[in-house]
Homo-oligomer: A and B are copies of this chain.
Amino acid sequence: MKRAVVLLSGGLDSAVALWLAKSEGYELYTLSFDYGQRHNKEIMAAAKIAELAEVKSHRLVTINMDQWGGSSLTDKSMEVEDGDVDRTDIPVTYVPARNMVFLSIAASFAEAVEAQNIFIGVSQVDYSGYVDCRETFITAMENAINQGTVMAAEHHKPIKVHAPFIYKTKTEEILLGAQLGVPFEHTWSCYRGGEKPCGTCDSCLLRAKAFREAGVIDGAADQQ
């Protein structure tokens, strides 16, 4: 059976990526990260989503990357700004090299379970400030993974990094997710660490806008 490691943040994009991989018949290995993010409710959301998707194995990797800050998501002394969906600069929620670290660890997990596929739910349409969501980076990283793992470089089993939403908008992802039956109500998007989504950070604003545009109801009972 073909196997896939799916990066699962607990947010919307990665949940749709997981259901897409499931619909394509992969045996699923999900990976979440506790990297000191303030919105660690997403970690619990990821575990719930993995359970609902009936994955073969779900792993939580803990890394203390928050020790060098650089982002309001991990540096508790910085504030998460209110969002502005039309911004063009790099948001302070950028975590240095986060997707590179996630993909590297996914490659290690993939090699350990002999999975030749990694799924990541990034899009360069909605998140142009995050350079690690661009196709050029995904391609470069796939190349590094294939040079740096014995499975690929010695045993002729290349690893494919799937970024199925790289050119999709969040609205298109939601439409696909609705078709696939993604349990949106169990996903968590808010950057702030409150009981309920704040409704005002970048991530909450983008989510609300996309559901509105898709004409889909955001089933999260406790969403704003």
Contact = CB atoms under 8 A, between A and B. Distances in A.
Interface of A: 59, 61-65, 67-70, 90, 94-101, 103-105, 107-109, 111-113, 131-132, 134, 136-137, 140-141, 143-150, 153-154
A61 B64 contact: yes
Contacts of A137: 144, 147-148, 153
Q: Number of copies of this chain in the oligomer?
A: 2
Contact of A69 (B64, B97, B101, B112): B112
Nearest to A132: B148
B104 A97 contact: yes
A134 to B, nearest CB: 7
Given A97-B111, A108-B97, A149-B131, A59 B63 contact: no
Given A97-B111, A111-B96, A59 B67 contact: yes
B112 A108 contact: no
A103 B108 CA distance: 13
Contacts of A136: 147
Contacts of A144: 100, 137, 140-141, 143-144
12 contacts: A61-B63, A62-B64, A63-B105, A97-B105, A97-B111, A131-B150, A131-B153, A132-B147, A134-B153, A137-B147, A141-B148, A144-B144
Contacts of A65: 61, 105, 108
B140 A148 contact: yes
Given A131-B149, A134-B147, A148-B140, A107 B111 contact: no
